[in-house]
Chain A
Amino acid sequence: GENVEQHPSTLSVQEGDSAVIKCTYSDSASNYFPWYKQELGKGPQLIIDIRSNVGEKKDQRIAVTLNKTAKHFSLHITETQPEDSAVYFCAASGSQSSYKLIFGSGTRLLVRP
């Protein structure tokens, strides 16, 4: 079945360091890969997304890379700040006949000042 695995489950970094979160997906037909940030008591917030025709996308301190052959994608946050502390979720679109997103289990990122 469709599955997205996310690692690590928790990540602690010093302010200013980089953070990397990795995800793998099972459905080779997946073509859309968003990343969401969820703060306590709030809904997930879309921070960056990538489609399968692109290998990398960057937005200021955030970048996402995609390797379709290996079926994995990663989120890179550079120059981390305390306000980056949150739970991050990756997701992958389902099969081409479905509009659903399959979410990973989340990574709790803590940026230590």
Chain B
Amino acid sequence: EAGVAQSPRYKIIEKRQSVAFWCNPISGHATLYWYQQILGQGPKLLIQFQNNGVVDDSQLPKDRFSAERLKGVDSTLKIQPAKLEDSAVYLCATGPGTGPYEQYFGPGTRLTVT
């Protein structure tokens, strides 16, 4: 079974530029999460989708971050404009059902904002 795919793996941008990350979930997984992992810390949830709908986006900085999940499958996370403090690894995770159970993570995208 293929795992969660993410691209790009690395991205370097200057502050105030925009960037987008892509996630392809495990086939059949209804729940999709985007996490931000700052160096030396645990992942922090940014947004959660159940199929097409947003379940929780309470920690998403909506003035600069946006996310969508097309047709309940692939998802993109965008940052515009980026700030220095956005430097982190952005992780996508997916799960087979409702609830927080059995989340499987992709390899992440390491973003560096200069």
Contact = CB atoms under 8 A, between A and B. Distances in A.
A96 B4 CA distance: 26
Contact of B91 (A4, A6, A44, A100): A44
Contact of A44 (B45, B101, B105): B105
Interface of A: 4, 6, 32, 34, 36, 41-46, 49, 89, 91, 93-94, 98-101, 103-106
B108 to A, nearest CB: 5
A103 B105 contact: no
6 contacts: A32-B99, A41-B107, A46-B103, A89-B42, A91-B42, A99-B48
Contacts, number: 61
Contact of B103 (A4, A34, A105, A106): A34
Contacts of B99: 32, 93, 99
A43 B100 contact: no
A6 to B, nearest CB: 8
Nearest to B102: A46
A27 to B, nearest CB: 12
Instruction: Give me the 6 closest cross-chain CB pairs, A-B, nearest first.
Output: A103-B42, A43-B105, A93-B100, A99-B100, A100-B45, A44-B105
Contact of B102 (A6, A41, A49, A94): A49
A105 to B, nearest CB: 6
Given A43-B108, A44-B105, A100 B100 contact: yes
